[in-house]
Amino acid sequence: MTVQELMQQYQSLGYQSTELYKVSEVFVRMKKDSAKIFLTFTSNMVTSGLRGFFAQVLKKGMADIVVTTVGSIEEDIMKAMGETFKIGDFEADDVDLHEKGKNRVGNILINNESYGKIEAVFLPILRELYKKKPRWAVSEMLREIGLVLDDEHSILATAAKYDIPVFCPAITDSAFGFHLYLFQRKHPDFMIDVVKDFGNILFSVSYDDKKGVIALGGSISKHHAILFTLLNGGAEYAAYITTAHKTSGSMSGANTNEAKSWGKVKDSADIATAIGDVTILFPLAMINAMEELQAEGLLREE
């Protein structure tokens, strides 16, 4: 059974299988309608190992704008440098892990040293950026980093290659932010301009563009995208996958219907929400969509 055959079965299986099939079909329709597609995801999805799949999605032209959290940026750089994360256990002895210099993210283990190694790549890039000019928007800085990463599975490298902007509004929420701070201490006029990126993402689409949102999880990455669909008249397409529920009143749990009350999604929008683990659901939904689009010659050839 192929992924497409499995997903065809899902449309009549019931519960979240049916909703996942709807999500996949929204992916297809937004692409066929030439919508500008926002892809948003949180850093735990890059930690999990979806990094290379996200890069493939970008290569195939299934996203025009990326919005993510800074852990995605850090870990994309780490893995481009050859760092590997290991599978651990959700019930591990966390005190023992701390003593061994291992950080646990769910059932994934990351060595402390991996964060320190970012500096070896990051500081030379910052020095070169500073020589060119002292003030950079976040997305501009991330593009420069992507241009020097030699890894076909890298999100930043792939985005830079295909001129896809990557936005990260909470850039300081990390070891990455700490290195920015240390560099600014030595160069007080150095500035990473988050506010300038507000304009950059705002004008990455227009009021007249058809807009689609693929939101994986929630957090600032999801809201940052749908804020700009709101300011540009609302999205025509929206597909969410999340483990959160609408009863919490959170951004992560807010479904596509709730977005209509704000005008982030148009009243007549083509929408779907599936509840479940992105590491399982997103590859199924996106591979199904890409196989359908590939057969019609609607994906970018690498």
* The overall pTM is greater than 0.85: yes
CB 147 within 8 A of CB 202: no
What is the average pLDDT score of the chain?
A: 95
Q: What is the pLDDT of residues 140-174, one digit of tens each?
A: 999 999 999 999 999 999 999 999 999 999 999 98
CB 37 within 8 A of CB 69: no
Q: Where are the alpha helices (DSSP H) in the chain?
A: 3-10, 15-32, 43-45, 51-59, 70-80, 94-99, 112-116, 118-132, 138-148, 155-161, 175-186, 194-202, 219-231, 256-262, 278-295
Token pair, residue 17, equals 């299988």
Q: Which residues contact 26 (CB under 8 A, 6 or more apart)?
A: 212, 237, 238, 239, 270, 271, 272
Q: Catalogue all structural domains in the chain, each as residue range(s) with its CATH number.
A: 22-81+120-295 (3.40.910.10), 84-116 (no CATH)
Residue 109 pLDDT more than 80? Answer: yes
Strand, helix or coil for residue 150: coil
Mean pLDDT over 105-128 rounds to 88
Eight-state DSSP code of residue 62: -
- Separation CA 48–CA 104 (nearest Å): 12
Mean pLDDT over 230-241 rounds to 97
Ramachandran quadrant class, 219 (left: phi over 0; alpha: psi -120 to 50; beta: rest): left
Note the pLDDT of residue 51: 97
Residue 118 pLDDT more than 90? Answer: no
pLDDT > 90: percent of the chain = 91
Q: Which residues in 81-117 are b (16+ Cβ under 10 Å) and which e?
A: eebebeebeeeeeeeeeeeeebebeeebbbbeebbee
Please identify every residue annotated as catalytic: 264
- Separation CA 23–CA 155 (nearest Å): 23
Binned at pLDDT 50, 70 and 90, residue 120 comes out as confident
Note the pLDDT of residue 161: 97
Note the pLDDT of residue 295: 95
Residue 267: what are its φ and ψ, rounded to 5°?
-55, -35
Token pair, residue 70, equals 């800074």
Q: What is the pLDDT of residues 253-268, one digit of tens each?
A: 999 999 999 999 999 9
Residue 117 pLDDT more than 80? Answer: no
Strand, helix or coil for residue 92: coil
Residue 116 pLDDT more than 80? Answer: no
Q: How many CB atoms lie within 10 A of CB 248?
A: 11
Residue 131 pLDDT more than 90? Answer: yes
Note the pLDDT of residue 244: 92
Mean pLDDT over 90-119 rounds to 92
- Separation CA 256–CA 235 (nearest Å): 10
Residue 183 pLDDT more than 90? Answer: yes
Binned at pLDDT 50, 70 and 90, residue 29 comes out as very high
Based on its alpha-carbon atoms, the radius of gyration of the chain, rounded to whole angstroms, reads 19
Count how many Cα atoms sit within 13 Å of the Cα of residue 276 in the half-sphere of its side chain.
17
Which is it for strands 191-193 and 135-137: parallel, antiparallel or unpaired? Answer: parallel
